[in-house]
Amino acid sequence: MSHSSPARACGIDFGTSNSTVGWLRPGLPTLLALEDGKPTLPSVVFFNAEENSVSFGRAGLREYLDGYEGRLMRSLKSLLGSSLIDGRTEVQGSVIGFRDLLTRFIASLKARAEARGERAFEQAVFGRPVFFVDDDSAADRVAEDTLAGIARAIGFREVSFQYEPIAAAFHYETTLAREEVVLVADIGGGTSDFSIVRLAPERLKAAERWSDVLANGGIHIGGTDFDKHLSLAAVMPLLGHRSRLKSGREMPASVYFNLATWHTINFAYARPVWADQQRLVLDAMEPERLNRLLALIRERAGHWLAHQVEQAKIDLSDGDTAVLSLERFAPDEQKLLTRAEFDLATEMLVDQVETAVARLLPTAGLAATGIDTIFFTGGSSGIPLLRRRIAALLPQARVVEGDLFGSIGAGLAVDAARRYGTVDDPRR
């Protein structure tokens, strides 16, 4: 494959939280700038009901946080493989299908990449988690087929897929001087995916790489689950979660679970929910907590609060404390969160991820000492407890951190060039 001309195809990392597009070109950055000069486009769609417009990424988040009436959708990728993909949502009297939302977002990714690259793309390699759906191969196939169908509907003639951790491995391989056996730990917004791969500089151009992939595994736990568990343990109790009614029963939990999960927040705004909560506040032992919940629903501040929780998680990954503001619906109120609280709230998730990694070693036929390097990528791989526990499984391995948001898109670009050749390749 000649590197003197640009690749024919691009690589698309459609992520739960952020998306990127990579394209190999001689002497230029692999990732294309998709918004505000940045390579990441947050996987966000905002329907602005006041302006009757649709915006994506940071622009959509800004409009939502500025207080425009409308409907914010995040974690769109989580819809793939779920029954919700064929569902619909209502915005100011218009009914919009979730599949259409996904199509619009991915069409925007394509259009931005083409504007930046100053060319049309007809071929693409899409990243995919090792499992879109855990323990259900039929649903997993439907998820991939849905994504392929959307890609074709927006104008890609040829679409292929690569596991996201394998793509990250290909990106890391471009930096190597000698052979290594690498555990790629890709911990993203929706899934934790792992691959054990044999990498070497001389293998870079080989067309067939499956013999170098020693094991793949994954689990449906990612950054949004860490947000949810932190929210339920430390934030939702401020709104009445786990508090008691005068009858001695615990407050019904469904509204809190909906508010703690990005793609179900809008369910909390349904009229019957409002009626239920107004009735429950009369029977609550701590009505001030329920009043905060009512204020949140009235202000439609669920996504705003989820954004605060996500930021607190990021702050607690870097430091020991984070201040969480409730100002949007409870002025002058805030909550101090600690790293210890975060670790306690998410320990069960970390246990499950650790088990998924431990299972991978016998599959690859390796002892822990057989792994040379752990390569961390994905925005949630910075969570300290998670990183510590994975590293402790492989004490001899060195730890390398990739571009947490860019390694997969860059690796998919490498794979796209290998699969589809370059623009001047006479074979195509």
What is the model's pLDDT at position 2?
42
What is the model's pLDDT at position 96?
81
In angstroms, rounded to a whole number, what is the distance separating the alpha carbons of residues 320 and 35? 32
Domain 10-177+404-420 in CATH 3.30.420.40:
yes
Say which residues have a Cβ less than 8 Å from residue 417's Cβ, sequence separation at least 6: 1, 7, 8, 9, 24
What is the model's pLDDT at position 20?
98
Q: Retrieve residue 142's tokens.
A: 């439907």
Say which residues have a Cβ less than 8 Å from residue 18's Cβ, sequence separation at least 6: 40, 41, 42, 43, 189, 379, 405
CB atoms within 10 A of CB 253: 14
Mapped onto helix, strand or coil, the DSSP state of residue 248 is coil
Q: CB–CB of 69/256 below 8 Å?
A: no
Q: CB–CB of 114/120 below 8 Å?
A: yes
User: Which one, of 423, 426, 388, lies nearest residue 3 by Cα?
Assistant: 423
Region of 333 (left: φ > 0; alpha: ψ -120 to 50; beta: rest) is beta
List the domain boundaries for the chain.
10-177+404-420, 224-343
Say which residues have a Cβ less than 8 Å from residue 115's Cβ, sequence separation at least 6: none
Q: Which residues pair with 216 in a beta bridge?
A: 195
What is the model's pLDDT at position 3?
54
In angstroms, rounded to a whole number, what is the distance separating the alpha carbons of residues 135 and 158? 28
Q: What is the pTM of this model?
A: 0.90
Burial bucket for residue 10 (CB in 10 Å: 0-12, 13-18, 19+): buried
Radius of gyration (C-alpha) of the chain in whole angstroms:
22
The DSSP 8-state label assigned to residue 404 in this structure reads T
Phi first, then psi: what are they for 334, rounded to 5°?
Answer: -150, 165
Q: Retrieve residue 319's tokens.
A: 């430091």
| Positive or negative torsion for Cα 101, 102, 103, 104 | positive
Q: CB–CB of 194/357 below 8 Å?
A: yes
Phi first, then psi: what are they for 67, rounded to 5°?
Answer: 100, 10
Could you say which residues of the chain have pLDDT below 50?
Answer: 1-2, 427
What is the model's pLDDT at position 1?
41
Q: How many residues does the chain have?
A: 428
